[in-house]
Amino acid sequence: MTRKIFYSLFGSLQRISVLILTILNLNLAIVIYDNVTLPKLAGLEFMSSDKHPEFTFIEAVSKTSSHRHKRQVIAGTIYEWSSRNIPFQIWGGDFNFQNLIRRGIRMWEESTCLRFRENMQAQDGIRYVLVKGDSCFTEYLGRNGGFQDIIIGSECAEGYVIAHETGHALGFWHTHQRPDRKNHISINWRNVLVKATTSFMPFRSMLQVFGIRQISNRRPPYDYGSLMHYNAVAHAMINDIYCTHVCAGFPPLPCQSGGYPDPNNCNVCRCPEGLGGLHCTQLQLSNCGGELVAGDRWATLRSPTGRNVHCYWRITAPFGSRVRFRLTDGEFPCSYGCQSYVEIKHKVDFRLTGFRSCCYRPKEDTVSEGPQILVIYHPNDRAARFTLRYIRQP
């Protein structure tokens, strides 16, 4: 079965439509529904523990057209920030809101060499502005000079939203608007609300409409699970842009499987999730999980008990073989981006997010691209479980 993502746009005439990303193993569909009942989808079975999705806002189209038309979807060098230290200000909000902004910023600092410095006297930087409502958006993409606003509506103020919009200010456009998106997803335009069309506009149309003067020639692999879609690939690109000289003078590290020298500690490799060790060749340490071998008979992997466990398994097939697997059972809360989930990395490039199952699970078997798969289990303090069957595929 083709691995694609499931986009949901929900809303009403009184509400701005919102982009939801849930990583699943199915052909792409875009569905708009006015209630929280999960639709029935061919080839998939419900996996939610309550059948009621707990979706929150990730990005809304601004109700102020002048703001949106200022926005440019770019990533060329002329829009890069001049320093790894980026000034920012926070306007409005109480103590909790300001800490929320800092948590979203920290998601970038933990994985890159960028540092965001709060500076109320700076004349050039990012300004996070709290407003009432459900619109969250960035004034510009990339640095455009002077202070540029990131508008955070009170109804969509979440840490991952802050990280997402900050990614725009760093120069990233949406992954699903890449020029090669037709190779990875399809869009049902009949189900896209008029106010959301700019979030799905094809790449070349964006260049014309927004007058883009320069784009980057960097072409990372398509990552369905990235923050914009964004994840490890976006962090790696930021490090490639801003952090190339941070580890100069340190002994070179032979990082494997897409790992690279950690700009926050040049003596270790930053590994894709699920991998660890000195050079990213070992399984990431956890209080559960382990190494498993796919043989000629079906074997079963069941999730451990507990809500606060974080588990990693690596299932390896003998040389020249692959791994066939199937999620035969599961129960997770259905929420934006699968906040409680089992993730299976089945592609050769372990940097890429695997498909995450929470709302649904595929009925059909899946076969890995290479001889290994990584199974990642994060219940994240929720009641959850899964059962995975696997076997060697000659």
Q: Among residues 59, 139, 158, 165, which one is catalytic?
A: 165
- The CA-atom distances, in angstroms, between 131 and each of 89, 102, 135 are 15, 17, 8
For the CA atoms of 195, 136, 47, 300, the dihedral, rounded to the nearest 10 degrees, stands at 130
Q: How many residues does the chain have?
A: 394
CA 332 to chain centroid, in Å, comes to 19
Is 361 in contact with 26 (CB distance < 8 Å)?
no
Report residue 91: phi and psi, to 5°: -110, 120
Radius of gyration of the chain, Cα coordinates, nearest whole angstrom? 21
Best CA proximity match to 282, nearest among 350, 225, 226? 350
Greatest Cα pair distance in the chain: 66
For the question of residue 54 being annotated catalytic, the response is: no
How far apart (Å, rounded) are the C-alpha atoms in residues 304 and 274? 17
Is 63 in contact with 16 (CB distance < 8 Å)?
yes
Element (H, E) at 290: strand 289-293
Give CA angle at 137 (136, 140), nearest 5°: 165
How far apart (Å, rounded) are the C-alpha atoms in residues 29 and 2? 13
DSSP calls for 4-28:
EEEEEEE--TTS--EEEEEEEEE--
Tell me whether residue 67 is annotated as binding: no
Tell me whether residue 378 is annotated as binding: no
Tell me whether residue 174 is annotated as binding: yes
Cβ-based burial of 34 (10 A; exposed 0-12, middle 13-18, buried ≥19): exposed
Annotated binding site for Zn(2+): 164, 168, 174
Residues assigned a catalytic role: 165
